């Protein structure tokens, strides 16, 4: 059984989005409470540091960061996106939350590459996979998984990284960032049509992008079959040196923002299959980032299943 390192920070709980917003601090609270109840897996809890601009700039230009942070209000909330998706919001505490969320992946990358841990979960918010190079999108400001990817490639002798995204929404940001980069495989299974509207199978990059759009109402059995055949099959052929997971838990049947019928234990099955590939090609090295998931019961149960898979 592998130990799991968990990065998080109280600043990630201070990011406010207003009453009724689905991306709320209770999401992270329920996950952290669930993690603390896990007795059978050795877990090492660590505080996420503040990411340095020089590391974030491996993906996002400084002008983009400056523009975001200049919009942070002294009180209340400010919407960053234009209509009709003006639901990515800044509050007075946003800057530290954003930088700590990104910093978790940088520290996770160091731990992974220094051999301190093989399995790392970044329990942070705001999420990241919708953030494009210079565009805030879908509750996301900095693409945490993309920054970790570029950090490992820049600071360590890592040539090939696979990013597996099982959030129910397509990670348009991650796809945009790596669309022309054959050193990074991006594989996403997601409901379509659904926000953000991207992620067709015809979007293939330079042969490194693998999208598996699925219909509303897809069953658990059909989801897992598609995931294996269209995502994991190609990840295995790619033989990545590190695997990153964009772990959204909103394909769960309880989730209010989508209509896929996974149950909590399905996240064990998916994670187990990912870990098998990591053990085969990547020296067991996996970093998992919290993305979506908006039902608190589903989050609590699914994270338990995810950790059971990560510990294998």
Alpha carbons 30 and 141: distance in angstroms, whole number? 22
Say if residues 65 and 59 touch (Cβ distance below 8 Å): no
Average pLDDT over residues 287-293: 98
- State the average pLDDT over residues 13-25: 97
pLDDT at 79 over 70: yes
Q: For 238-262, what is the mean pLDDT?
A: 98
Q: Is the pLDDT of residue 243 over 90?
A: yes
Under the banding of pLDDT at 50, 70 and 90, the label for residue 85 is low
Q: Which one of 9, 130, 170, 306 is the catalytic residue?
A: 130
Confidence of residue 81 (pLDDT cuts 50, 70, 90): confident
Q: Which pLDDT value is given to residue 84?
A: 64
Over residues 97-132, the pLDDT tens digits come to: 999 999 999 999 999 999 999 999 999 999 999 999
Distance CA 266, CA 279 (A): 20
Contact 307, 41 (CB under 8 A): yes
> Which pLDDT tens digit goes with each residue over 204-221?
999 999 999 999 999 999
CATH of the domain at 64: 3.40.800.20
Task: For 227-239, write each residue's pLDDT tens digit.
Answer: 999 999 999 999 9
- Write down the pLDDT at residue 86: 76
Kindly report the pTM of this predicted structure. 0.98
Q: Give the per-residue pLDDT at 82.
A: 73
Q: What is the tally of helices (H) and strands (E) in the chain?
A: 10, 10
Which residues lie below 8 Å from residue 79, measured CB to CB, with a gap of 6+?
86, 87, 88, 89, 90
pLDDT at 148: 98
Give the whole-angstrom CA distance, residue 101 versus residue 130: 14
Mean pLDDT of 260-269: 98
pLDDT, tens digit, 9 for 90 and up, residues 178-189: 999 999 999 999
pLDDT bracket for residue 249 (50, 70, 90): very high
Percent with pLDDT over 70 in the chain: 99
For residue 134, give Cα distances in angstroms to 59, 60, 96, 130, 176: 9, 6, 19, 11, 10
| CB proximity list for 215: less than 8 A, separation 6 or greater | 191, 192
- What's the distance, CA 106 to chain centroid? 14
Q: Determine the structural domain holding residue 277 and report its residue range.
A: 4-310
Cβ neighbours of 29 (radius 10 Å): 14
Bridge partner residues of 141 (DSSP) = none
Active site residue 306: no
φ and ψ of 119, to 5 deg: -125, 120
Percent of all residues in the chain with a pLDDT value above 90, rounded to a whole number? 97
Residues with Cβ within 8 Å of 169's Cβ and at least 6 positions away in sequence, in order, are 129, 130, 138, 190, 191, 194, 195, 196, 248, 250, 257, 258, 292
> 223 vs 12, 164, 243, CA distance in Å?
31, 14, 20
CA dihedral over 307, 309, 310, 311, signed as positive or negative: positive
Tokens of 171: 């990670």
Q: Span 21-34, mean pLDDT? A: 98
The total number of structural domains that make up the chain: 1
- For the stretch 186-201, pLDDT in tens is 999 999 999 999 999 9
């Amino acid at each position: 059984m592998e130990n799991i390192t968990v990065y998080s920070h109280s600043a990630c709980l201070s990011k406010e989005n207003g009453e009724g917003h689905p991306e709320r601090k209770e999401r992270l609270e329920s996950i952290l409470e669930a993690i603390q109840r896990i007795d059978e897996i050795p877990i090492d809890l660590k505080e996420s540091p503040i990411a340095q601009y020089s590391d974030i700039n491996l993906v996002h230009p400084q002008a983009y960061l400056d523009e975001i942070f200049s919009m942070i209000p002294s009180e209340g909330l400010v919407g960053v996106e234009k209509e009709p998706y003006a639901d990515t919001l800044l509050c007075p505490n946003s800057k530290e939350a954003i930088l700590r969320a990104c910093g978790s992946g940088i520290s996770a990358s160091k731990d992974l590459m220094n051999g301190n841990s093989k399995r790392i979960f970044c329990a942070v918010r705001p999420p990241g996979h919708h953030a494009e190079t210079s565009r805030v999108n879908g509750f996301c400001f900095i693409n945490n998984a993309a920054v970790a990817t570029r950090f490992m490639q820049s600071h360590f002798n890592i040539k090939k990284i696979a990013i597996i995204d099982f959030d129910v929404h397509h990670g348009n940001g991650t796809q945009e960032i790596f669309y022309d980069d054959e050193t990074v495989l991006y594989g996403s299974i997601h409901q379509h049509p659904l926000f953000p509207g991207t992620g067709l199978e015809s979007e293939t990059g330079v042969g490194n992008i693998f999208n598996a759009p699925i219909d509303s109402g897809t069953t658990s059995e059909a989801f897992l079959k598609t995931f294996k055949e269209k995502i994991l099959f190609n990840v295995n052929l790619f033989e990545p040196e590190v695997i990153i997971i964009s772990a959204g838990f909103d394909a769960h049947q309880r989730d209010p923002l989508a209509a896929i019928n996974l149950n909590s234990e399905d996240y064990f099955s998916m994670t187990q299959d990912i870990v098998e590939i990591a053990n085969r090609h990547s020296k067991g090295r996996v970093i998992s980032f919290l993305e979506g998931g908006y039902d608190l019961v589903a989050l609590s149960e699914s994270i338990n299943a995810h950790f059971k898979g990560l510990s294998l």
